[in-house]
Structure 1
């Protein structure tokens, strides 16, 4: 049963009411609970009538008086209380279609579930949502929603997503915007398809929906060496990356004058690839798009500069930092700044080339343990190894190829320290180990 309760939080309302693990949540205020969206919406009241089916089959109706947004303190066997909806598209740029065989099963699941967008920030295409689903988002005021738009050109979107139902995205965005639903939009840029003039058309269409569409993130398509029997994709290079920066520049300046932000921002990879200086801090606002790789370098630089003064000057120690090709120069810069601040701290930065997926994949988050172990000599590793958190599965210390921190520690004979992608966390880690 998808509504089965798996855990009761200690000291919670549920514990006080003697709700137990194994019980089933049936309804709240007479409305049947279908999934986590129903639960979250109906929970937001100060008086509830909660119907529980006990393990012995008894039905309990419990009256609950609580603070308006206070939780009951229960967790379910399935996070969304339902099976996640898989993607119905066959996008020509899909990264999952480019994975090699033999990886863990969960990596091959293509989710396209608006409930996960609400709960976890996942991006969805809206193609497997019914009109009833859209209406429920509006009724429950579920937002923000992260939407993979890619293009507002109906024919082009059908072609790119290989789904004949994919062309109505703009109509749905207009409906959500008219209802005041806040949205973040993403575009995976594929040269020759949705870049250049098509990108500007899409951005102008989305700009008409501001402020409901708060911002747009544009990221370059990624192609692995395992891409076989799929549409041919052209990758960005130094020239075409610079062309794309120039392409959006006029619109960005217009938007900054009109609304105070550039509205569309390009991933850091465009600037690194083209050798163009990263925009200043103000350009990125509150860094809302950092999970898309938008402004990560600027945020890292700023946080290193602010946190460097807190580095312990009396301590000493040595650290190996592991990163990918894209971030290598930034990590190297940070390492030198730290060493200059405290010359008793030694840092060695290792740039790992992604042979597993292919050398065109340069971000640290897609590196594997086997590439790390093959490219770093055991005797070159210093006292501690620092790795960014985005190299690991969320909430677990396991990499894409199932190599764990335990495996790495056994191989290198050194302690692995996991670091958030901020300068502040890096300085704190070093302080804790010198």
Structure 2
């Protein structure tokens, strides 16, 4: 299916009235080629529009429409990017894709760096491959928020870290966006001895100067797989380094809380796990807007289970095995204990799977592979149902909407079910639906 092929026409819509049908192709609006849904949304706002539509027969229809300003046409496309997604032109020293082994599916090696994916999917972009007219397009179309991979505001250091001579322009671009009220969320991958410590503090302070256009900053630790032969040597965080980073950033957070009532910058949960420190309280995370960066997941999990535990069916009996990675194991073990204390007829095992595929330094559940789960899990480890956090399942632009539920190494949920002869249940990685799942798959004793 072509990307500009119409997937759905809403009943009673303008599109249905003028004869637009499923499988028609939208070629242009008012003579302008439509590259993506951003173009589409912008171009259909006028009260008069002229559509060029190609029918499956190849016949071209010119359709004139009078409508209310901002009124929708009532069509959906297969995807929100109607041309090719823009690939990354950087060679970042910490790039996770460069640390993938050979032989995985081709789509995993595609590095996107597309502002449209940032707007629609929340992907982070570096802005290194954007011309001035493309920046102006973001401003003119009010494409906001934009999620930006910053890493450092030091121009020379950013050029080195991204291996791109255009990478040093970032802060000037961000200042221009801020002047035009474009909201930005920022991410920093912190690499010890490169952009951490004082460099990290300087970067955060630079971004704070753009507040409130820069809404938040997420700091995540570098992740290193065992496939780094020939790549830049990187140092990992340990307990001491993680604790020091938390201490340094806490000073800035306290300052920002006094000045704007927000911490502004937050560290990924991994820092606290490595340092052996407890995570901040729920108020600190202000609605948990940085969960995709692994920020606030532990606190939200605790809060969710605490709130939902009252809904547990205490008359039902069931048995489950939760599979997770090293980082989340202790928290999920505590969750399992709290559920079993509430109902002792529920049996929950928590299985910790070590990441042999990428290397033991990768500890998050979202990067576990099916083969590691299969190799490290015996039937004796398993209860009647298996529960996986749904962030193990690949989503997004790289997979078709109707694709199998698939893990990073192409092992599917069905493969796991066939291997273990057990039903696999996918649970929100924050634990939001864990109690509901247990209630649904437990049985009341007669």
The bucket for the TM-score relative to the shorter chain is over 0.9
Structure 1 residues 30-39 or 242-251, which shifts more? Answer: 30-39
d(CA) in 2 for partners of 1:48, 1:255: 48
Equivalent in the alignment of 1:418? 426
Contact 1:44–1:69 (CA under 8 A) maintained in structure 2: yes
- 2:351–2:381 CA contact under 8 A, matched in 1: no
Q: CA deviation at 1:397?
A: 1.1
Contact 1:5 1:20 in 2 (8 A): no
Aligned to 2:407: 399
| 1:7 pairs with 2:3 | no
Q: Structure 1 residue 37: deviation in Å?
A: 1.9
Structure 2, unmatched stretches of 5+, are: 396-400
Residues 9, 22 of structure 2: 8 Å contact kept: no
2:441 maps to 1:433 = yes
Deviations for 1:352-403, whole angstroms, at most 9, x for unmatched residues? 0000000000000000011111111113310100000000112641000111
What is the CA RMSD across the aligned residues, in angstroms? 1.6
- For 2:426 and 2:68, the matched residues in 1 are separated by 39
1:409 pairs, out of 414, 417, 425, with 417
Deviation at 1:60, TM superposition (A): 2.0
Q: Is 1:263 the counterpart of 2:264 in the alignment?
A: yes
Rounded Cα–Cα distance in structure 1 between residues aligned with 2:431 and 2:225: 30
Shift of 1:429: 0.5
Paired residues of 1:14 and 1:74 also in contact (CA < 8 A): no
Structure 2 match to 1:62: 64
Q: Secondary structure of the residue that 1:316 maps to in structure 2?
A: strand
1:308 aligns to what? 309
Normalized against structure 1, the TM-score is what? 0.96
CA deviation vs aligned residue, 1:324-377 (integer Å, no higher than 9, x gap): 000001100100000011111000000000000000000000000111111111
Pair 47,340 (structure 1): closer, same or farther in 2 beyond 3 Å? farther
1:287-312: CA deviation from partner (whole Å, max 9, x where unpaired): 11111101011011100000000001
| Cα offset, 1:43, TM superposition | 3.1
- Taking a change above 3 Å as real, the CA distance of residues 137 and 121 of structure 1, as seen in their structure-2 partners, is same
**Cα distance in 1 between the residues matched to 2:204 and 2:325:** 31
Task: Decide which moves more: 390-399 or 217-226.
Answer: 390-399
Write the distance in 1 (CA, Å) between the matches of 2:329 and 2:47: 51
Q: Is residue 279 of structure 1 aligned with residue 287 of structure 2?
A: no
- The answer on whether the counterparts of 2:46 and 2:69 sit within 8 Å (CA) in structure 1 is yes
Provide the TM-score with structure 2 as the length reference.
0.94
Aligned pairs for 1:1-400 (under 5 A) are 4-11=4-11, 12-44=13-45, 48-55=49-56, 56-65=58-67, 68=70, 70=72, 72-76=74-78, 78-394=79-395, 396-400=404-408
Compared CA separation, residues 132 and 348, structure 1 to 2 (3 A): same
Q: Is the 8 A contact 1:174 1:209 kept in 2?
A: yes
Task: Give the match's secondary structure for 1:327.
Answer: helix
What is the CA–CA distance in structure 2 between the aligned matches of 1:334 and 1:177, rounded to whole Å? 42
Change (3 A) 1:246 1:409: same
Gap runs ≥5 in structure 1: none
Per-residue deviation, residues 235-286 of structure 1 (Å, max 9, x unmatched): 0001100011011111100001111111110000000011011000010001
CA distance in 1, matches of 2:48, 2:273: 54
